[in-house]
Amino acid sequence: MRYLLALQIFVLTAIDVFDWSQSLAPGLSVKNAILYVILLALVARFVVRGGMRMELPKLHMWFGLLIVYATLTWLTAALLIRYEFYTLLDSGIDLKGRLLDNAVLFAVYLYGTRTLDDAKFVLKCVLLAVAAANAIAIGNVLGLFHVGVTEVGTGLLAGRVFGAFGHANETAALIVCLLPTYVAAAVSSARIARWFWAAAGAVSAAMMMMTGSRGAFVGLLLAVVCGSWLCHHIISWRRAAALAVTFVAVAVPVTALVSIEFGHSILTERVTDMFLNPATSGDGRAYIWRPVVDKIMGNPVTLITGFGWDAYDAMGFSYAPHNHYLLLWFELGVIGLACYLMLMRQLVVTALRGAENASDETARYLIAFVYGILAVSGALLFAQLFRPWTYIWIYCGITMRMAVIALQTKPNIAPHAQRDAPVVGSRRAIADPVAPRLPVTQRSR
């Protein structure tokens, strides 16, 4: 099964790199068809083995509540309210693509991977596929070759690179979500593999800078601050400090190279200006958000209920909201927004609990997941995602399998492993690495 899951990842990435958007039927694309075939194979495996046991019920509950409420608002908007320019079929297809299919992806990769080896193998396939897509985009911009479709923005978006995963902000949000996992893969590998994953992470980081996405940098800062606070009890800060120095040593030349090759307009005028002149940088977003908030305040009941799934496009706004949370609030109200936030919270809580019980390598991946989810959550303050959700929910499903296995088993750490504390791991592994173990009789005295 893991090879089938890995094959799907590379096929999905190839479809995005070459921008193949063929539709087999209304609401059924090539991506969907591949997903449903794998889902049928997974269901057949469970039938042959005599059924399945639901895992992580709280995650499924919040995902289910979000889907159910979105469905209710969709039917209400289409059949009862009947907004002008709002169609039942188109909005239903959008609901299926943006919620139902993502839930299926999450379930397929959660239940399709059964062992740690499965999860790590498929996770590395995700990292490899995303890094390859980013490398292709960079090569296209440099003129080294012409593979697939890569766009460079013009006008207000001048100089910003649009990668395989959609708008520059979308591409950057996906990269910032996976960057901590590239670090975890490099630290957990040896010799040549370590350099390979470090290079893959550097390529993705360079691509993130080329997008000029300020939201990604905000997300990265949020992840460093909040992630370190959440994980303070399971991180070896001495090793983390050494890793941070290494990271900075790599980041500085990568930043300089990007600035030289692609001009100062991306980094200096956008990212640097964001920190030096935050009020000016936020004027554009405020101009977009103000009419949306005014519309909500003009209809107080929608503070709680929202206007209905996919209603934003039927309201005649001139610009996309550029804020995932504001869009959820507008369409699904506090109810839908709360379901989404609780879903994200449950992902983070599950990963933290798993990291506390996991072996050293698995703990690194779980802690990287916490940082990654916080980073993309920060980026969503300034962006909407479409294509990247496919990879994010695949990533969530794989990492939750690691967490489930970690919660079901406890690591057996040998004394020599305790003397060589990992970069991240359980508190037990770093509490007192050099204290001698006394016989039971002496300890009892």
Per-block average pLDDT, block size 10, for the chain (445 residues)? 93 93 78 89 85 89 97 95 90 93 96 94 97 95 88 78 91 95 91 92 90 88 90 76 65 64 56 54 76 92 94 89 95 96 97 91 94 96 93 97 90 41 42 38 39
Q: Are 112 and 394 in contact (CB under 8 A)?
A: no
Tell me the C-alpha distance between 376 and 386, whole Å: 13
Q: Give the global pTM.
A: 0.87
* Identity of the amino acid at 347: L
Tell me the C-alpha distance between 237 and 89, whole Å: 53
- ∠ CA 60-62-64, rounded to 5°: 65
* Identity of the amino acid at 432: D
Helix (H, G, I), strand (E, B) or coil at 23: strand
Q: Are 178 and 230 in contact (CB under 8 A)?
A: no
Tell me the C-alpha distance between 182 and 205, whole Å: 10
Q: Taking the CA of residue 303 as centre, how many other CA atoms within 13 Å lie in the half-sphere pointing to its CB? A: 6
Beta bridge partners of 25: 28
101-112 and 388-408 helices cross at what angle (nearest 10)?
40
Tell me the C-alpha distance between 27 and 21, whole Å: 12
Q: Residue 291's pLDDT is what?
A: 92
Query: First vs last Cα of the chain: how many Å apart?
Result: 54
Q: What is the DSSP letter of 62?
A: H
Q: Residue 267's pLDDT is what?
A: 56
Tell me the C-alpha distance between 4 and 12, whole Å: 12
The runs of H, that is alpha helices, within 212-282 are 214-222, 228-230, 237-262, 264-266, 273-276, 278-281
Q: Residue 26's pLDDT is what?
A: 76
Tokens standing for residue 294: 């005014």
Q: What is the DSSP letter of 352?
A: H
Beta-strand pair 28-29/23-25: antiparallel
Tell me the C-alpha distance between 367 and 376, whole Å: 15
Written as one string, the DSSP assignment of 308-343 is -TT-GGGTT-SS----HHHHHHHHHHHHHHHHHHHH
Q: Residue 85's pLDDT is what?
A: 86
Helix (H, G, I), strand (E, B) or coil at 109: helix
Nearest CA to 261 among 148, 165, 152, 128? 152
Tell me the C-alpha distance between 302 and 73, whole Å: 11
Q: What is the DSSP letter of 439?
A: P
Beta bridge partners of 29: 23
Own/partner long-range contacts of 412-418 (Cβ < 8 Å, ≥24 apart): 413/359, 417/360
Tell me the C-alpha distance between 315 and 83, whole Å: 8
Helix (H, G, I), strand (E, B) or coil at 29: strand
Question: Which residues touch 98 (CB under 8 Å, ≥6 apart)?
Answer: 386, 389
Nearest CA to 178 among 331, 388, 380? 388
Q: Residue 345's pLDDT is what?
A: 97
Q: Residue 279's pLDDT is what?
A: 47
Q: Are 140 and 146 in contact (CB under 8 A)?
A: yes
Q: Tell me how crowded residue 3 is: count the other CB atoms within 10 A of its CB.
A: 11
Tokens standing for residue 212: 């000029």
Tell me the C-alpha distance between 439 and 193, whole Å: 41
CB burial of residue 317 (10 Å; 0-12, 13-18, 19+): middle
97 phi/psi in degrees, rounded to 5: -70, -35
Helix (H, G, I), strand (E, B) or coil at 125: helix
